[in-house]
Every structure is written in structure tokens, then in C-alpha cells.
């Protein structure tokens, strides 16, 4: 899913994207409550979690959720 993540990042330069490695960034993984099912993509506004994708998702599905969240603001 990393390709879709990077595609989304490249097409949305106004959104901050942070990428963590499950095996290296242990404190961040714990803080974001990421367990064993990977990959995980979490959408936040400030400190508030808006949406969590667990497992492989299509670019279309993720982009639609981002647009939905933008329209709701």
C-alpha cells in the first residue's frame, strides 16, 4: 500500500503525511495503537483520529474518504 500512500501524498501537498516503519518506529506504532494487522493508514485532524484503514485498500477508496472529510469541513 506504500505506493498508494505516496500517490495520495503527492496529489495532496496541503496535507501533512507521516510514514512509520512497524519494525523500527516502535514508540510511534504504540502511540497510534497499531497492532499486528498491517498496513494501517490513519487520517487525523490535529490530534483527533478521523478514520483508520486496516489492511490493503485501493487508492480510489482512500482518496474518496479524504475528499469526503474535506467536504465535511
**pTM: predicted TM-score of the whole model, two decimal places:** 0.87
pLDDT of residue 6: 93
pLDDT value at 72 more than 90: no
What whole-number distance in Å separates Cα of residue 5 and Cα of residue 43? 12
Q: Which domain holds residue 55?
A: 2-71
Q: What are phi and psi of 48, to 5 degrees?
A: -95, 125
What whole-number distance in Å separates Cα of residue 41 and Cα of residue 56? 9
Q: Which tens digit of pLDDT belongs to each residue from 4-49?
A: 999 999 999 999 999 999 999 999 999 999 999 999 999 999 999 9
Q: What domain count does the chain have?
A: 1
The grid coordinates of residue 23 equal 519494525
Amino acid at each position: 500500500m506504500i505506493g498508494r500512500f505516496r500517490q495520495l501524498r503527492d496529489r495532496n501537498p496541503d496535507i501533512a503525511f507521516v510514514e512509520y516503519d512497524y519494525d523500527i518506529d516502535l514508540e510511534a506504532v504504540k502511540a497510534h495503537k497499531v497492532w499486528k494487522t498491517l498496513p494501517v493508514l490513519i487520517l487525523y485532524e490535529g490530534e483527533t483520529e478521523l478514520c483508520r484503514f486496516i489492511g490493503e485498500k485501493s487508492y480510489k477508496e482512500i482518496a474518496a474518504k479524504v475528499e469526503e472529510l474535506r467536504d465535511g469541513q
